[in-house]
Chain A
Amino acid sequence: MATQPQVVAQVPAGAPSNPTEAKVRELAKAALAEGRVDYVIGWRYGYDRSQAIPAFISDPAEADELIINPLIHHNLVTFLKRKMPDPPNAKIGVCVKGCDSRTLVALLQEELVDKERLYVIGVPCRGTFERRKIEKEFSDEVVDIVVSADRTTVTATTRSGESKDFAFDDVLRSQCTACRYPNPRYADVMAGEDAPARLEGEPVWPGIDEFEALSAAEKDATLARVFETCIRCFACIHACPVCYCWDQCVCRSRKPKLVGQKVEASENLMFQTIHMFHVAGRCPSCGACDQACPVEIPLYLLHRKMNKELYDMLGFEAGVDLDAKPVFQTFKIEDALGEH
């Protein structure tokens, strides 16, 4: 048997770079050592320091690989949904950012995950990066992304050593720029001081006004153009924490047959529209779908539009209050009157 070359699959994290990171490691280590959980889901570096990947830590010693920084865009709640936990009855520790926690709250409200088997580590979040925005500024591959201590500057470096600085706010994901809930709405333990909200008061909906200003024909043309490149890989729905029909999903089911199998803009959009309606009231537009899409379709715009409608019509925001009834399980007379 030949020896396999040593190529690093996950680069080591090193000493904690901020107090939250240190706290997350400490909490994970303790939970594992105490046997409170079988594994902790957090984030670690991938094969370079420019990207994070979901980490499944079962050995307390490995907890030091966990990272907390603006690269941690993955919503780990997706690993809690139906048929995901392995083994199915695992006791799981999970790290959640503000938006992630809202999807968890949505699942908890619907009793689709068992609270007793969870240990939720809340991570205050100051925003995560749209790595693709950074990537496109270079012809070579980005291998390192570093944030300045005062969180104003982001430095990206390529393999060949070329570096560029970006303003922190310029490379944030669009969701993060208008985030009203940076701190988890539900957690068993918090891993740090609350982060400041980027927006107080009424929500804003970036990108929606522009779309709404288009004529009907222009909207059709835009949607056709956007969804023409969809490859129907369904990374969007699998990355989505509140989308869990799996083997019953209409994307391929023949009974009911709602979506044709032909891969073309109209069928692709039809599917996404069904998905949008299906997660309405549960989707906080965390943007996991958008991050997962290999062809960079701005899926969150669909969901954001739906969320705007829900907010305007019913005064509802998904996953902000564990004790609240899901919006489509309640009816108030004001709803019909549109008096919100």
Chain B
Amino acid sequence: MKFLTTDQLDAFLGYVAGQARVVAPVKDDKGVVLFRPWAPGMPVELDVLLSKQSAKEYVFRQSETYLKFGYTMEGLAAAQTESPEVAHAAATEAEVAAVDVAKAQDARVKAFETVVVDPVNEAPAQVIFGLRPCDVRGFVQMDNVFSGYGGFYFDPYYNAKREATTLVAVTCRDPRSTCFCTSVGGGPAGTEGADALLTQVEGGLTFETFTPKGEALGAFPGFAEVSQAQSLYAETVKETAASRVAPAFDLEGVRDQLRENIEHGDWHDLAMRCISCGTCTYVCPNCYCFNITDEIVETRGERMRTWDNCFNPMYTLETSGHNPRDIKSNRFRNRFSHKFWYYPDKYDSLLCSGCGRCVANCPTRIDIREVVRTMGSPRPVTVTGEEA
């Protein structure tokens, strides 16, 4: 454990910035705290407990171009004037091979003679500074998905950035009433996934490292040795913080009950005040669903992925007009069941680190803790129609 005096903080960030991009929580002109690339002179906001969004965006970009492509124009003229016939009615397999009738081409040819495709995967070294232990766990939980835990696919885009990222967490001194990290296996000084952990104490911050990436930052010459008093102080801060997080629910049996209650009418009641926006998922440190779209201008284009969310009615809308989750309560059920049942089934852990951002930022203050307590425990039989 080392010690960083408060007046050395800027120097430390400057030192780190010499080696990698630094991303830190900063306050904007409206007083909203967001993670932003840091530059010398920018005040880092460590007193506001939670940034509006987690730092997820810096590893799993909200919109990320993952391949670029370009069509060459050679052949375009030929394709439009004298290319062989393309579609033909077929009666037998033999005829399929034989028939080759010339017919006028559709003028709206999109694909040309050749296409060149280049994957794009930029992953500069970066240090995310000042994120909370729950946000760090958010990355750990997303790691399972993107690294193909359980025999699934390995995502080269997420992992390149993840690998190039160092996570420097800060102990939560004063957890909010919406925090529930301790109910999902974490804590205000949790170290799971963290490369280093800072704890604010009298006069500065204690600095602990847990990985080689974290230790590399320990090379900053401005660190002092930590005194016994400082180290004891840090322990007290951590213990006090943990005791201030109210137990929100008991995980025991929640998954089974969610399975049991899947068709229960209480989902409708809980979803009533949901407006079906995506705020909860976009402020969440571990919601990871995305969309894929192409953009093209003339012959050059890119394919990108962008965050999507399961509350969006278009998320599951099929071309035919059929929508498996057309009803709001079905979409609502999906998010909570995903976090406490679907994901655990696939990845043997939870998809929630208890940051409480979804509670604090929901336009109608839907409380995930209430949802888990309600649907994660035995429900009375719903009254449907006239019979119970």
Contact = CB atoms under 8 A, between A and B. Distances in A.
**Complex: A in contact with B (CB within 8 Å):** yes
Interface of A: 1-5, 7, 9, 46-48, 51, 53-56, 74, 78-79, 83-84, 86, 136, 139-141, 143, 159, 229, 231-239, 246-247, 249, 252-254, 260-264, 291-292, 294-296
Interface string B359-388: 001011101011001001110000000000
Contacts of B328: 83-84, 86
A247 B317 CA distance: 8
B34 A247 contact: no
B383 to A, nearest CB: 11
Interface string B306-335: 110100111001000001001111000000
Given A9-B370, A229-B32, A247-B313, A234 B278 contact: yes
A231 B282 contact: yes
A1 B277 contact: no
Contacts of B250: 2-5
B249 A5 contact: yes
A4 B282 contact: no
A295 B369 contact: no
A233 B378 contact: no
A158 to B, nearest CB: 10
B272 interface: yes
Contacts of A229: 28, 32, 34
Contacts, number: 150
Contacts of B72: none
Contacts of B306: 232, 261-263
A315 B176 CA distance: 48
A263 B314 contact: no
Given A4-B377, A5-B249, A253 B314 contact: yes
Given A1-B252, A140-B174, A262-B63, A78 B373 contact: no
Nearest to A6: B373
A17 to B, nearest CB: 20
Contacts of B327: 86
Contacts of A236: 277
6 contacts: A1-B378, A2-B250, A48-B177, A229-B32, A238-B363, A247-B323
B376 A54 contact: no
A136 B28 CA distance: 13
User: What are the 4 tightest A-B residue pairs by CB atom distance, in nearest-first order?
Assistant: A235-B277, A292-B363, A238-B277, A9-B370
A235 B326 CA distance: 18
A257 B65 CA distance: 18
Q: Is the interface of A mostly helix, strand, loop or mixed?
A: loop
A261 B293 contact: yes
Instruction: Name which of B246, B328, B364, B377 has the most chain A CB atoms within 10 A of its CB.
Output: B364
Contacts of B253: 1-2
Nearest to A52: B365
B379 to A, nearest CB: 12
A206 B174 CA distance: 38
B236 interface: no
Question: Considering residues A51, A79, A295, which has the most beta carbons from chain B within 10 angstroms of its beta carbon?
Answer: A295
Given A74-B364, A239-B275, A247-B317, 11 more contacts: A2-B252, A2-B253, A5-B246, A7-B246, A233-B277, A233-B279, A233-B282, A234-B277, A249-B314, A252-B314, A260-B295
Interface string B269-286: 101110111110111000
A156 to B, nearest CB: 15
B282 A232 contact: yes
B247 to A, nearest CB: 5
A261 B304 contact: yes
A262 B193 CA distance: 30
B275 to A, nearest CB: 4
B378 to A, nearest CB: 6
A247 B246 contact: no
B298 interface: no
Contacts of A141: 176-177
Contacts of A140: 174
A57 B138 CA distance: 36
A294 B314 contact: no
A233 B312 CA distance: 9
B31 interface: yes
A9 B364 contact: no
B312 A252 contact: yes
Given A1-B257, A7-B246, A159 B177 contact: yes
Given A261-B293, A262-B63, A239 B373 contact: no
Given A5-B248, A235-B277, A252-B291, A56 B269 contact: yes
Contacts of A4: 249-250, 373, 376-377
B52 interface: yes
Contacts of B272: 54, 56, 79, 86
A232 B62 contact: yes
B177 A83 contact: no
Nearest to B273: A54
A246 B277 contact: no
Contacts of B31: 136, 296
B206 interface: no
B53 interface: yes
Contacts of A234: 277-278, 312
Interface centre among B34, B63, B377 (most CB of A within 10 A): B63
B52 A294 contact: yes
A195 to B, nearest CB: 25
B263 to A, nearest CB: 15
A9 B291 contact: no
Nearest to B53: A231
A221 to B, nearest CB: 13
B74 interface: no
Nearest to A262: B63
